[in-house]
Every structure is written in structure tokens, then in C-alpha cells.
Amino acid sequence: MAQIIHPPLTRLSEEESLFYATVRKFAEETIAPKVRAMDDEQQFADGLVKQLFALGLMGIEAPEEFSGAAGSFFDAVLAIEAISTVDPAVAVLVDVHNTLVVNAVRRWASAAQQKEWLPRLATDTVGAYALSEAGSGSDAFALQMRATEAPAGFRLNGRKLWISNGREAGLFIVFATLDPTAGYKGITAFVVEKGTPGFTVGRKEDKLGIRASSTCELVFEDCVVPEANLLGERGKGYKIAIETLNEGRIGIGAQMLGLAEGAWGHAARYAKERRQFGKEIAEFQGVQFTLAQMATEIEAVKLMVYNAARLKDAGQSYVREAAMTKLFASQVAERVASQCVEIFGGNGFVREYPAEKYYRDAKVGKIYEGTSNMQLMTIAKQVL
């Protein structure tokens, strides 16, 4: 089978190639046997999250002094891609934790806050990012959740919806409006710990895809958080949200890239195994052309994802590239996964084979962390 599912060495350093190979090996040997059961049971296998921490995948960019791996954003992208080839649901956990939560703490937390939170995030505590609400999806800053001054800090009241990692997380970055008269400039970010009085994790959504990944409602009823848990400055929550979500788009691109690579790999392998009219279906030009087109589009996505991640690490502007990456990667992932189902034929439509799960998992790529229409709006502002 062709090696499209592995990043070409010419585009990665020796160290990056080794890191990708290590994560990919872990995904294939440890995660792959559990994928079907996790999807059915809608939860991660016992001990899997601890293994992700033990492998250093939950603190990739955290400094060594805080028990992190001191890696690059590109390293995080490689890890997300490698895991997504096997199970995008597990990759969501790693992606949200690293690209949104850890990065937000690294950039916006005070030195004291970093000393307290980063070692935990790198070693044993999952992070979640709570921005969305029932009335603020694409209109991310139409927040109804309120924060008011309290003697001991701040009192939070409201609900958050569609929060990834909600069930597993121990630390939550929560956005609320501290000054409603200031519009989006009244939005402020807080770090809330699981178990804080007045804070409960509500129901878990029953989803089409990435079912092992928890997507939960969060409920805040007179939840008091201390002044020390204010992340960044009052009224600067919108800035934190915008910057972290720009990075997150590249992470979603990496998820969709890995998903497409995984689906392509299964489709190519099945085409070599399935025989019709006395020969492998891979010998038919129609199947060959389909696989070739899939491979070409995957290669284009890879270049876009890697380029956006390199730009981010280099400190250069990447907003346009991140939006383009998420837009195109989600389109290709859905298309490749659909074609994977078709190559499997009737077997692609049943749960016994892997094709249908990739297809279900792909759909969310066009939705979360900014819909495709929102990406087009961002791109239009950058290019026109």
C-alpha cells in the first residue's frame, strides 16, 4: 500500500518524524483496539487518558519547568494528526487541551497562575474551553452568562453548551460578561475548577460522530471563583477567545487531515483485498482514479496544515491560512470519508467495518470551532 498516510520525511525534521512515528505507533497499538467499544459506549476506555498524559501528549508546549515537553505548536499538530488517523474522538481531547487550554494559560496567565495550573495540565488534569452557549454559537460574543463582583472574587451564573472534554476536565476556561454595557469588551475569562460549589457538569450530548469524546452542558449557579482565577485582564476575554480559536482552527485542520489519511488507508487496503469479476477492485481504473484524487486532496490539506502551523511557530500572521486550512480540510475529510464508504460498498454502510465511523466523525469538522461559513467570512476579510 502507498505511504500517503505517513508524512513524507522530506517535510519533517528527523526529530519531528520520530515524534510522529511514536505517536502513530501508540495510536495503532493502544487506541485502535479500543475504538469500536469506545464509540459504542460513548466514553474513553479506562486508563486511556492517563496514558496520554504519561506519553507527554497533554503538555506538548508546556515548558519543562512545569513538567511539559517544551515542544512546538507544530509538534502538537503532528500529534493530533497521528491520533486522528486512528480515532478522531481521542484526538479531540488532545487538541482542545493543547491548542486551546494550555496555550491560553501559557499566553494569558500570570507567572503565579502558570506555576499552579501548567504542571497539572501537563501531568494529570484535563482542560476544557467553555465559550459556546445556546444563543451564542457562530455569534460567539452574544454571551448571556454573567459574572458579577463578589467579596471573595466573582460570582458566575449561566449555562454553557457543547463543551468538549466536559466530562473528563478538571480545569475549565470559562467566558462570561462582567460588564454588559461594554458589549464584547465586557467579556472576561475565568478558570474554574471541577468541584467548585455552584458548578456542575450537565448532560452529555448523544452525537452522530466522535462519540467517545464528551460534549457536555455546564451549569453555573452562584458559582464563586476567587480573584486569583481571573485569566488575563477584565474585559479582555474576547481577545483571549479570538486568538486561541485562530490557533484552534489549525488543530481542527490537523484532525481532519488525520481522519482523511486514516480513511484513505482503509480504502486503499480494502481495494487490494476485495475481488470482483475475478480481480482486485484496485485494478479497475475507476477505483484507481478515485483513490488518486483522494490522495491528491489529502496532500494539499497536509501542505496547508503544516504551512499554517509553521507560520504560527514563526510568529508570522496566520489568520487567513488557519481559516483556509480548517475550511478546506473539513471539506476534504468529508469527501474522502464518503468515498471510503463507497469503495467498501455494502460493507462501508455497516458498523462492522471502519468506513462508516470515519464518515460520521468527519461531519463535525465543518461545524465546531467556527462553521465553514464563518471561515469564509474570515477569509473574505483577509483577501478582499
Residues belonging to the active site: 369
3-state SS of the chain: helix, strand, coil percent to 5?
A: 60, 15, 25
Q: Are 136 and 159 contacting, i.e. CB atoms less than 8 angstroms apart?
A: no
User: For residue 143, what are the contacts with CB-CB under 8 A and spacing of at least 6?
Assistant: 133, 136, 158, 175, 176, 177, 187
Tell how far CA 190 is from the center of its chain: 21
Residue 162 vs residues 38, 62, 212, 367: alpha-carbon distances, Å: 19, 26, 14, 11
Q: What is the DSSP string of 277-307?
A: TTEEGGGSHHHHHHHHHHHHHHHHHHHHHHH
141, containing H or E segment: none
Rg (CA), the chain: 21
Residue 109 vs residues 105, 115, 154, 191: alpha-carbon distances, Å: 5, 9, 17, 10
Q: Are 172 and 128 contacting, i.e. CB atoms less than 8 angstroms apart?
A: yes
Q: Which residue intervals of the chain are DSSP H helices?
A: 14-26, 35-41, 48-54, 73-84, 88-95, 103-108, 111-123, 237-273, 285-313, 319-344, 355-362, 372-383
Please state, in angstroms and rounded to a whole number, the distance separating the CA atoms of residues 196 and 160: 16
Query: Buried b / exposed e across 36-47, counting CB within 10 Å, b at 16+?
Result: eebbeebbbbee
The label of the residue with cell 469506545 reads 38
